[in-house]
């Protein structure tokens, strides 16, 4: 069975979501909702709403979501540091995990960590056991971000926790080559490069004639350049303003929750901010795009390490992509992903990609990168390590 430390269940779908859902088809998975990577701000309406939601969910106990996947929101001290807070967190989690394990038929536990401060919640003696110490819980760290580079988190604290996790993990998976190099500096050969996958069947429905484009997008002037994801400080809003000005006949559709000031961008006549949409709605939204954008600001210190999950999703939907020059996107996408520097390159790439008419071929080229294949690879690596190989 798997106990996984990760984000909130109802958050935006990420690699974590797909990997744990895939594993839960075969083994019981207890999804531990966010254990707090920062201290909540009580003056923030968003943080207060999350606190109340956490209290409600904690009262409910483990909730079965699908297949063999349960979600638990334990009442833990966020960003715990002192010995008493750390001891409380371990005790609360251990008690809840024991009860859940007894209910699903307990067996050997694997701890899968998707956030660095999960290191504080691992039981004593966990990790680095493998075949030499089979009684010790097995620890996997999935490094999907450069946690020290988030401006809204305590980077130094998370770097310290990540180092502790890298030192104890039996297996480490890194989602980009940049993250792989960083992790190898501590964990050496225990690190495995495993880029993100895609739910190909879900996104390929964008190619079906029966898939309807949402009315608010169907009404926009074409071509449509689309982006979906968090509208956070690492998005290059200055670039988007310039592109909207240089391509006045285009529509720029931006889909996702807003976490920074976008007032200048939203004031432009050919820009539409459409808010957050359900994951299930994304294929139909992608169908409306003539070209997909990944306009990250490469001056942001986090951006060189990212591997945007949306890249493969857009391609599976048959949508050609224009993107910032992200190192991870230099691998194997050919002309389906045009990498850009500066407004002139971006404009040329958007115009070139929007003229493509080979959507089915674009989708077919990423079909083998399905999440199910990633899950199989992970399980093979973990099982091999458990056998001492």
pLDDT digits (tens, 9 = 90+) for 87-125: 988 998 898 888 898 888 767 899 999 999 999 999 887
- Residue 83: per-residue pLDDT: 87
109 and 162 fall within a common domain: yes
Strand order in the sheet with 337-340: 271-275, 251-255, 224-228, 291-294, 321-324, 337-340
- The count of structural domains within the chain is 2
Q: Is residue 33 classed as helix, strand or coil in its secondary structure?
A: coil
Size (the chain), residues: 389
The strand pairing partners of 148, in sequence order, are: none
204 and 186 fall within a common domain: no
Q: What is the pTM of this model?
A: 0.91
Distance CA 256, CA 294 (A): 13
- Residue 54: per-residue pLDDT: 56
321 and 382 fall within a common domain: no
**Per the structure block, which two tokens stand in for 210?**
């029966």
Phi, psi values for residue 208, rounded to 5°: -75, 140
Q: What is the DSSP letter of 221?
A: P
- Residue 358: per-residue pLDDT: 97
120 and 184 fall within a common domain: yes
Distance CA 112, CA 105 (A): 19
**Per the structure block, which two tokens stand in for 121?**
């919640």
183 and 213 fall within a common domain: no
First to last CA, the chain: 21
138 and 255 fall within a common domain: no
Residues 6 or more apart in contact with residue 329 via CB below 8 angstroms? 294, 308, 311, 323, 337, 339
192 and 213 fall within a common domain: no
Q: Within the chain, which residues score under 70 in pLDDT?
A: 36-60, 106, 129-135, 389
CATH of the domain at 184: 3.40.50.2000
pLDDT digits (tens, 9 = 90+) for 247-257: 999 999 999 99
33 and 67 fall within a common domain: yes
117 and 210 fall within a common domain: no
Structural domain harbouring 14 = 2-197+371-386
Residues 6 or more apart in contact with residue 334 via CB below 8 angstroms? none
251 and 158 fall within a common domain: no
Rounded (5°) CA angle 236-238-243: 100
């Amino acid at each position: 069975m798997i106990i996984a430390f990760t984000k909130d269940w109802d958050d935006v779908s990420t690699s974590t979501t797909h990997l744990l859902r895939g594993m839960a088809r075969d083994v019981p998975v207890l999804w531990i909702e966010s254990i707090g990577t920062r201290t909540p701000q009580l003056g923030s309406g968003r943080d207060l709403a999350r606190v109340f939601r956490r209290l409600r969910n904690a009262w409910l106990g483990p909730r079965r979501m699908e297949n063999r996947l349960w979600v638990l929101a334990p009442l833990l001290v966020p960003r715990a540091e002192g010995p008493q807070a750390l001891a409380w967190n371990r005790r609360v989690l251990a008690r809840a995990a024991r009860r859940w394990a007894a209910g699903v038929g307990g067996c050997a536990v694997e701890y899968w960590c998707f956030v660095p401060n999960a290191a504080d919640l691992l039981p004593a003696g966990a990790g680095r056991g493998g075949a030499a110490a089979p009684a010790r819980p097995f620890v996997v760290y999935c490094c999907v971000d450069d946690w020290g580079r988030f401006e809204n988190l305590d980077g130094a604290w998370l770097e310290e926790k990540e180092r502790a996790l890298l030192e104890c993990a039996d297996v480490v998976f890194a989602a980009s080559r940049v993250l792989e190099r960083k992790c190898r500096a501590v964990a050496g050969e225990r690190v495995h490069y495993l880029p993100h996958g895609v739910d190909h069947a879900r996104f390929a429905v964008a190619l079906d004639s029966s898939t309807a484009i949402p009315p608010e997008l169907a009404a926009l002037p074409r071509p449509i350049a689309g982006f979906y994801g968090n509208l956070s400080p690492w998005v290059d809003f200055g670039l988007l303003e310039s592109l909207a000005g240089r391509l006045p006949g285009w529509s720029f559709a931006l889909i996702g929750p807003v976490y920074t000031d976008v007032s200048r961008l939203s004031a432009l006549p050919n820009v539409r901010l459409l808010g957050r949409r359900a994951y299930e709605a994304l294929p139909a939204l992608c169908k409306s795009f003539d070209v997909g954008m990944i306009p990250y600001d490469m001056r942001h210190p986090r951006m060189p390490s990212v591997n945007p999950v949306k890249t493969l999703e857009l391609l599976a939907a048959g949508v050609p992509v224009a993107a910032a020059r992200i190192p991870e996107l230099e691998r194997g996408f050919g002309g389906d992903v045009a990498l850009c520097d500066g407004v002139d390159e971006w404009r040329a790439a958007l115009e070139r990609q929007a003229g493509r008419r080979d959507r089915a071929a674009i989708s077919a080229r990423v079909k083998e990168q399905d999440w199910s294949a990633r899950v199989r690879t992970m399980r093979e690596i973990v099982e091999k390590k458990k056998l001492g190989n």
